[in-house]
Amino acid sequence: MAAKHTYRFTVGTFDCSIVRDGTFAYPHPAQMFFANAPESDRAQALRDHDIDPDHWEEYVSPYPGLLIETGDHTVLVDTGAGDLAPTTGNLRANLSEGGVEPEDIDTVLLTHGHPDHVGGCVDDEGEPAFRDARYIMPDTEWEFWTSEPDLSGLAVGDDIRSVLRDVPRKVLPPIREQLELVDSDTETEVVPGVRVLPAPGHTPGHVAVSVASEDDHLLHLVDTVLHPIHLAHPTWYGVTDHDPDQVVTTRERLLEDAAAEHVSVLAYHFPEPGLGQITQAGEAWEWRPIEG
């Protein structure tokens, strides 16, 4: 049933779809997403969001690819997690169900090197999954994840550290011949109307994505925020955030812009479909999700 796996909307004249790769249940989400939050503040924030702080065992995150059909180009932003878990790796099947085959996609934009964003860039044989596409990735990300990434600063277990290190080293080299690197420090238009925006911190060269057509505008925050509570508490960071200070600076800049310009916003890990608007609320912000 297409409606279940794909959420369609428009940005100006562009047809956009949020296409589900799958979901993943993160254990101990309070620690994972709000690692530096004082215990009592965190409990209160959870209650404010109708979550029982004593029984928040897992957060089931969607993994959404963003498909943008501009008329001239078919762009896919992020590729899901591939075979990371039994519950992931459905992106291409779900694209196909909506009438889009892998060879229809001419541009694959990888926002950063985390396994849940790059895992689906190759197929089961380890070949590029989108054989006619150019793959675009921020240069800092490519260099970081394809060399010997220093993950010693992350407060994660060795199992997670291994996954973070091994998946990109497996799936990124095969796309090398289709790869186009962009400067992670400057805005770059990858096709008319679709731009990558520097948003470092979550990972060294993490980028956000701006989609603009006519007077309509979508800002894809990707992993600048991981949970809606980050809008109310922008200084709380997660255990997979590489540079906490930079995360906060990037977050405040993008959230301020999104609120001031009243744009539509997409966030990768937010409850489906992950689309909404951001409004200023005192010193922080508030999430106004659209109904899925």
Residues of this chain that bind Zn ion (CB under 5 A):
114, 223
Contacts of 158 (CB under 8 A, 6+ apart): none
Contact (Cβ atoms closer than 8 angstroms) between residue 79 and residue 91: yes
| Biggest distance spanned by C-alpha atoms of the chain | 52
Closest separation in Å from C-beta 147 to Zn ion? 18
Minimum CB separation of residue 31 from Zn ion in Å reads 17
For 46, list phi and psi in degrees, rounded to 5: -65, -45
**Quick check: 119 and 112 in contact, CB under 8 A?**
no
In one-letter notation, the amino acid at residue 252 is E
Return the SS3 of 246.
Answer: helix
Structure tokens at 171: 């799936």
Nearer to Zn ion, 63 or 287 (CB): 63
Q: Angle formed by the axes of helices 158-171 and 139-146, to 10°?
A: 110
In whole angstroms, how far apart are CA 163 and each of 83, 170, 220? 12, 10, 25
Sign (positive/negative) of CA torsion 229, 233, 234, 237? negative
Helix (H) or strand (E) segment spanning residue 74: strand 74-77
CB of 206 vs Zn ion, minimal distance in Å: 7
106, HSE (Cβ side, Cα atoms, 13 Å): 9
Q: How far is the CB of 220 from Zn ion (least distance, A)?
A: 13
- In whole angstroms, the minimum distance from the beta carbon of 117 to Zn ion comes to 6
* H helical segments located in 60-218: 91-97, 115-118, 139-146, 158-171
- 114 or 227, CB closer to Zn ion? 114
DSSP state letter for 57: -
Q: Which of the 8 DSSP states describes residue 104?
A: G
Question: Which residue's CB comes closest to Zn ion?
Answer: 114
Q: Which is nearer to Zn ion, 102 or 234 (CB)?
A: 234
Return the number of the residue (21 or 223) whose C-beta is nearest Zn ion: 223
Nearer to Zn ion, 114 or 233 (CB): 114
Report helix, strand or coil for 52. Answer: coil
We find the least distance from the C-beta atom of residue 15 to Zn ion, in angstroms, to be 26
Shorter beta-carbon distance to Zn ion: residue 114 or 230: 114
Q: Least distance (Å) from Zn ion to the CB of residue 178?
A: 22
CB of 223 to Zn ion, least distance (A): 4
Of residues 140 and 213, the one with the C-beta less far from Zn ion: 140
Specify the residue, 141 or 223, whose C-beta has the smaller distance to Zn ion.
Answer: 223
Report d(CA 232, CA 188) in Å as an integer.
30
